[in-house]
Amino acid sequence: MTLHTSVPSRHSNPRWALLKNASIRYTFAGNEGRPLLLLHEMGGSLESWDPVLELMAADRRIIRCDVRGSGGSEKIRAPVSLAQLADDIVSLLDHISVTDAVDVAGVAIGGCLGLTLAARYPKRIHRLAAINPPTDATGRSGEVLRERAALADAHGMRGVVESALGRSYPDFLRTDEHAYQAYVARFLCNDPTSYAHILRALTNVDFEGVLETITCPTTFISGRHDLVRRSEDIEEIAKRVKGASFLQIEGGHIPSVQAPESLANALEAFFD
């Protein structure tokens, strides 16, 4: 892939949308093609996509947002569901007058939200790339989420940074020390109460009988070195969506920052 060295202003200069249920920070720019909506990972923000956008055509229409409770969007002070967070995104699309179906790519919880959108709003989603998405919180995975939420409530983001990034951003993927330190710094700026509420929302995720209803063209992408959700598990999940494909790429649980070139290549091949 050719690196696009001229990074346009769409990669910064965020705006805020005052929606019915939340104030959402977002960016929307570019003038070519169907809009591509990019959804970030747990503890991330729209900036998580910066390394990928540097590798994509500058004139492509791109929408990014901070999910409610994340980044610069409105904080959460009461229990929330993944369905509510997905509804926020549709409200944002309405707010910016994007009513035609959009392409969606989401990392981790962003992929989970993409699947939720495809199931709840089939006419609004054209194609979907779900990257390392959680689809259940049974057994130990649910316990880990609840324990981490309690730690965030009790000790703030510094109380969870090691447990959260130990598997999603392990040592062997921290070869770019500057990128890793920048990611940690941004992670620590999350609001811990909001973070805990989103973790608890993930404990209730259940796609039993839901994935089978998704009709848009879908691909599941897995980071080869993901220690959170193994590639073989994501490949099995892909079989539940009719006609879905599966692709393994470089990187771990957060390939948007760990392997942006591999992810950009995969997205351009799927959406173009």
Looking up residue 231, the CATH number of its domain turns out to be 3.40.50.1820
Overall average pLDDT of the 193-200 stretch: 98
Instruction: Establish if 2 belongs to a structural domain.
Output: no
Share of the chain above pLDDT 90, in %: 92
Instruction: Establish if 15 belongs to a structural domain.
Output: yes
| Residue 2, pLDDT above cutoff 80 | no
- Residue 249: the pLDDT is 98
Q: CB under 8 Å to 159, separation ≥6 — which residues?
A: 151, 152, 192
- Residue 10: the pLDDT is 46
C-alpha closest to that of 133 among 82, 75, 81: 82
- Please, what is the Cα angle at 265 between 250 and 43, to 5 degrees? 60
Instruction: Establish if 161 belongs to a structural domain.
Output: no
Over residues 124-138, the pLDDT tens digits come to 999 999 999 999 988
Overall average pLDDT of the 147-174 stretch: 97
The beta-strand segments (E) located in 159-244 are: 218-223
- Residues forming beta bridges with residue 222, ordered by sequence position: 248
Please tell me the number of Cα atoms within 13 Å of 59 on its side-chain side.
3
| Residue 8, pLDDT above cutoff 50 | no
Instruction: Establish if 82 belongs to a structural domain.
Output: yes
- Residue 1: the pLDDT is 39
Please name the amino acid found at residue 183.
Y
128 neighbors 115 (Cβ within 8 angstroms) = yes
Containing structural domain, residue 211:
9-136+206-271
Instruction: Establish if 231 belongs to a structural domain.
Output: yes
Q: CB under 8 Å to 199, separation ≥6 — which residues?
A: 42, 145, 146, 148, 149, 152
Where do we find the tokens 């495809």? Answer: 118
The model's pTM is: 0.94
| Residue 3, pLDDT above cutoff 60 | no
Please tell me the number of Cα atoms within 13 Å of 171 on its side-chain side.
0
Overall average pLDDT of the 24-35 stretch: 95
d(CA 223, CA 131): 8
Tokens in use for 16?
């805020």
Instruction: Establish if 220 belongs to a structural domain.
Output: yes
- Determine whether 209 is exposed, middle or buried from the number of CB atoms within 10 Å of its CB (0-12, 13-18, 19+): exposed
Average pLDDT score over the chain: 94
| Residue 187, pLDDT above cutoff 90 | yes
- Residue 12: the pLDDT is 54
- Tally of domains within the chain: 1
